[in-house]
Amino acid sequence: MDRRSFFKTSGRKKSSFRVQGGIDPYGGAWTRDEVSHLLKRALFGARETDIQSFVSMGPEAAIDALFQPQPLPASPLREYGMVGVEGFMYDDLGVAVGQPWGDDLNTASDPQARPAINSARNGSLIKWMMGLMLHQNATIHEKMVLFMHHHFSVQMGEVDNATMCYRHHMLLRQHAVGNIRELTRLVSKDPAMLRHLNGYLNSKKAPDENFARELQELMTVGKGTDSLYTENDVIAAAKVLTGWRIDDATKLARFEASEHDMSTKQFSGFYKGVSISAGDGDTELAALINMIFGVKETARFICRKLYRWFVYHRIEAEVETAVIQPLADLLIAEDYELEPVLKVLLRSDHFYETARRASYIKNPYDFIVGTLREFNVSFPAMADYSVSYNYFDALAKQGNRMLMGLFQPPDVSGWPAYYQEPMFYEMWVNSNSLPRRADFVNGVVADGVVDVRAYANESGSQPDARTLVETMAGRLLQYPLSATSIDYIVNRFCPSGMPNDAQLKDIFTFIMNLPEYHLC
Amino acid sequence: MNRRKFLSRTVPATVMPALLNGFSFSAFGSQPGSALHHLLGPDVPNDHILVLIQLHGGNDGLNTVIPLDVYGNYYTARANVAIPQDRVLRLDGTDKTGLHPAMTKLQTLFNTGKANIVQSVGYDKQNFSHFRSTDIWMTGDDSNNRSTREKRGWLGRYLEDVYPGYPYEYPNSDMPDPLAIQISDMPTVTVQGDVFSMGLSITDPMNVYSFVNPFNDYPLNSEDANRELQYLRIITDKTKVYSDIIRAAYSKGTNQGTYDDTSLAKQLAIVARLISGGLKTRVYTVTLGGFDTHKKQVNAGDTSTGGHADLLKSLSAGISSFQGDLEKQSLDDRVLGMTFSEFGRRIKSNASMGTDHGAAAPLILFGKHVKKGVLGTSPDIPADVQVVDNIPFQYDFRSIYATVLERWFCVDKTKISQLMLKDYQSLPIISGTPCGLDDDIDEVNEQADKMILKFWPNPYQQVATLQFSTPGGKTVVQQLNALGQLVRIHAQETYPAGTFNIDIYEDQLPTGMYFIRLQTGNLQKVIRVIKAK
């Protein structure tokens, strides 16, 4: 199978215009090239076995397979031992080692030790999230969970409560490919979000506009040219949201009517002049969310965000017309269910055009988890906490070093690689993070964490060194190498025939350090 | 075209005086903002180096620089963490303040004129979040409007201005080295430019990177993919080139003298060795963490020991080793150091032997060219200090940045207000450089002492009179609340020299403690007033 020949022949039109196809189903060849493009975008990395099985399924069944419902994972486990506080050691009396801590409110232990226990649990939560990505099945869910984490960006340090962070994360997970309007409504009164954006301080006497503003600017209608909400809309939304508090005993949200603004909240013409009259917290919240999702710009804004997450960061006028607009119409027609919209996007003509291939700079988890999964590195089970969480920890720290700490997005806008003009994805790779990526690749190859021989063997026996190099480069890189480049590698690393194990490692290290390896 | 290049190519050095109507260079040297400076600056890179030490977590200024002139109130406010008066290290030329007993090395630097202190540095709408306040200190923009506020760092803006087009045509003969080096895992906002970071983060200068970029063809017919590949190839090239430059300089450089085995000392040793190795890099940043001392900041038995004391010792010894290293290698002429922290801590201590997030705090500058002394007065600590009371700022941190740009990087005044987004006063904290002014800190303090700032009656209810004097020029009189946040501006305009009264009627502020802050030129004064029922 020659990747280059694919790119020569399968482009449907030879024009170099960026935008050709729209959201009609892709009708071209369904080969490992299309499948690996799909899987590298929708998952973290594409495994050889998955590529083969998705090729055999054909496009329709392949897309369906990506959306196979996934059970919710069990709570993170206590993997930490006793915690040290100023020279004294304390046990977590609420949860025994190896037991789930997610819903334990950390009230059983010595008050002196609770902050340290909370920190240990925060660490445990991040390791667990890392483990879930590494152990993902061949479905879109983990990629969408990370999307939601970006979209409803919450920082662990600000929330300062591991159970609230865990519940917040489970909420995102539960609705990751579900109804975005419903998820937005639930996040609006989620304790972690109430804490992160000051909702818990929002009262009729001192309205706090923080969440009301971000809800509109970052989560729904956005700041595009067609988003015309006013400063008064922010104030009115803040009033609607007054009174939500975090119950001290349960750490769940509760509505405190005495803190709620009972006036009628009047919105601008952008929201069709809706007014929300005094009611209980849930009724007013639902009315607010329905009002915001009643504006078409909300559907467009969400579709743009999904497009940037899965396809490319630039959205030119043609893409807006041919892709975003019809997807937004579909999102509205489907009552804000994400699954049908994602399926159409990932099956579209547009998605499979040559112009869409290899233009996506891998985020740190595409890079870390993708590499490890593609080499079939097998990690101990989630339940085997005393071993597995150590690996998850090491890899989560790699994610941090490469600028994408879990539960530590730089601010409420999420990761700038998905919104910051003009660089977008390019922000992932700078002179600070590139060496970290290189260290990671060099380490996993040199230390034998990834078995390059086994990876090569997955492609069967190869007639000669050149074919071997070409096949490996074709699998590792979405961006094809020219024949001259393949010759360069052969001449440099295995000029006298099939590479031995040491030479093979050198070949992999070389290819995985190429700028091309950061693209998928 | 780079202006220096232009000048060196078109104007022989000997022609310069004629061009400037016969004035000699030295005559202009003491006149920043003069014609010569306009001609040369700000595009003229000098070889001065700034080393920033970030004290992460919010340093407790009151236990770093102890106010001996209000020691009684200081002690009452924080008896459980207060440094015993007889243990405070004395400073030459002042009996009003002294240093934490762990800072003996810094005391020596101060007394030999190689370190100085600026009192109560902060800003007027104190944000108490670590994250936000760090951003404010790094960008110099405290605006609340997220979509319009400055995302570039203050030094990022400066470096981008001096080295336009970075990184594309760099390194080059004008700037053969990294513009800024951060000894850290991650780049910080301080050196962030419009698109690129102007700095490189390194943790191990000897790292050898294996990434290579031997190919330059673009075989895929995709505009987007090719654009991204081109970007990745540029970054790969630059990173490789700069890491080789750093490694070569580190191998060539040396350290003289000893450094303690602390994280900060190790970071500063790397910086000294890179400077010694010949790097022309303009800015280095290092970090010391652990200042978020909500509890157990001191040991119960001896408040001069404990976590905060260890940090201050590490800071003091680290600076001293670094300065000594540079002096032994005759590199101290080129280096200025400065500490900063996102905020100080509350005046009143808490029950956990610690202190909570506060407002203004002292800042330390060090190096051969700092002006000796303490700029500003001890914070005014009331006898009946409340939990929420904070130290109001005497000096805006951006005045210090502006001064560093003016007197250390020799930047033209007009350019400084562009880079700093507004006009900030220049402070007498740096001397003896080709671009420095020669104000004396003590003289300024004396002048400030003579300035009139009165407020009566005090306590007041709704009516009061405020009296202030000014030597003339732009004069600002502000009212800050107990948290150190600006609540009212009484005057903000250009006054002739003289003494002025402002009558206050129907004051609507809530009852409580306030500060009146007078600023004119580089002089300022703060007094405390009480609004009663």
- d(CA A234, CA A512) in angstroms, rounded, equals 48
The pLDDT assigned to B432 comes to: 53
- pLDDT tens-digit profile of B46-98? 789 999 999 999 999 999 999 999 999 999 999 999 999 999 999 999 999 99
Contacts of A373 (CB under 8 A, 6+ apart): A43, A44, A45, A47, A134, A136
Residue B486, SS3 per DSSP: strand
Q: Do A509 and B231 touch (CB under 8 A)?
A: no
Q: Give domain B451-533's CATH number out of 3.40.50.620, 2.60.40.1930, 3.20.20.140, 2.40.420.20.
A: 2.60.40.1930
pTM above 0.80, yes or no: no
pLDDT in tens, A310-339: 999 999 999 999 999 999 999 999 999 999
Tell which phi-psi region holds residue B81, choosing left (phi > 0), alpha (psi between -120 and 50) or beta. Answer: alpha
CA end-to-end span of chain A: 19
User: Is pLDDT larger for residue B43 or for residue A32?
Assistant: A32
Which has the closest alpha carbon to B177: B198, B155, B207?
Answer: B198
Read off the pLDDT of residues B476-487 as tens digits, 9 standing for 90 and up: 898 888 777 788
Distance CA B81, CA B304 (A): 8
Mean pLDDT of the B249-253 span: 96
Determine the Cα–Cα distance for residues B76 and B73; give it in Å rounded to an integer.
5
Cross-chain Cβ contact B212/A510 below 8 Å: yes
The nearest CA of chain A is from the CA of B185 a distance in Å of 7
CATH architecture under which domain B48-396+421-449 falls: 3-Layer(aba) Sandwich (3.40)
- What is the spatial distance between Cα B446 and Cα B451, in angstroms, rounded to a whole number? 9
Shortest Cα distance, chain B CAs vs residue A335, angstroms? 31
| Residue of chain B whose alpha carbon sits nearest to that of A479 | B220
CA distance A118 to A163: 9
Least confident of A208-222, A277-291, A307-321, B475-489: B475-489
- The mean pLDDT value of chain A amounts to 93
Tell me if A355 and B239 make a contact (CB, 8 A cut-off). no
* ipTM here: 0.94
Indicate yes or no: CB of A484 within 8 angstroms of CB of B213.
Answer: no
Q: Single out the residue of A378, A373, A436, A380 nearest to residue A403, CA to CA.
A: A436
CA dihedral over B159, B162, B168, B173, signed as positive or negative: negative
Contact residues on chain B for A6, CB-CB shorter than 8 A: none
Chain segment B347-397, per-residue pLDDT in tens:
999 888 899 889 999 999 999 999 999 999 999 898 998 887 899 999 999
Q: Give the best residue of B131, B215, B294 to mutate against chain A (max A CB count within 10 A).
A: B215
Comparing B437 with A223, the larger pLDDT belongs to: A223
Strand partners, B407: none
**Does A423 sit within 8 Å of B195, measured CB to CB?**
yes
- In whole angstroms, what is the distance from residue A483 CA to residue A488 CA? 9
Nearest chain A residue to B224, by CA: A359
- Residue spans of the domains in chain B: they are 48-396+421-449, 451-533
Closest CA to B33 of B442, B290, B410: B410
Which residue among B131, B221, B232 places its CB closest to the CB of A354? B221
**CA quadruple A423, A428, A434, A435: dihedral, nearest 10:** 140
How distant is the Cα of A116 from the closest Cα of chain B, in angstroms?
Answer: 13
Q: Cα(B527)–Cα(B518) distance, rounded to whole angstroms? A: 9
CB contact under 8 Å between A488 and B214, yes or no, is yes
Q: Smallest Cα–Cα separation from A188: which of A151, A233, A241, A230?
A: A241
State the pLDDT at residue B213: 83
Q: In what order do the strands lie in the sheet with B453-456?
A: B453-456, B464-470, B498-504
- One DSSP character per residue, A176-242 reads TTSBHHHHHHHHHT-HHHHHHTTGGG--SSS---HHHHHIIIIISS-SSTT----HHHHHHHHHHTT
Closest partner residue to B209 (CB to CB) among A314, A356, A435 is: A435
| CA–CA separation, B300 and B81 (whole Å) | 8
Other C-beta atoms closer than 10 Å to the C-beta of B377 total 20
Nearest to B229 among A438, A479, A482 (CB): A479
The residues, ordered by sequence, that sit 6+ positions from A291 with a Cβ below 8 Å of its Cβ are A267, A271, A272, A274, A276
Other Cβ atoms closer than 10 A to A88: 11
Q: Which residues of A touch B217 (CB under 8 A)?
A: 482, 484-485
pLDDT at B519: 87
**pLDDT > 70? residue B437:** no
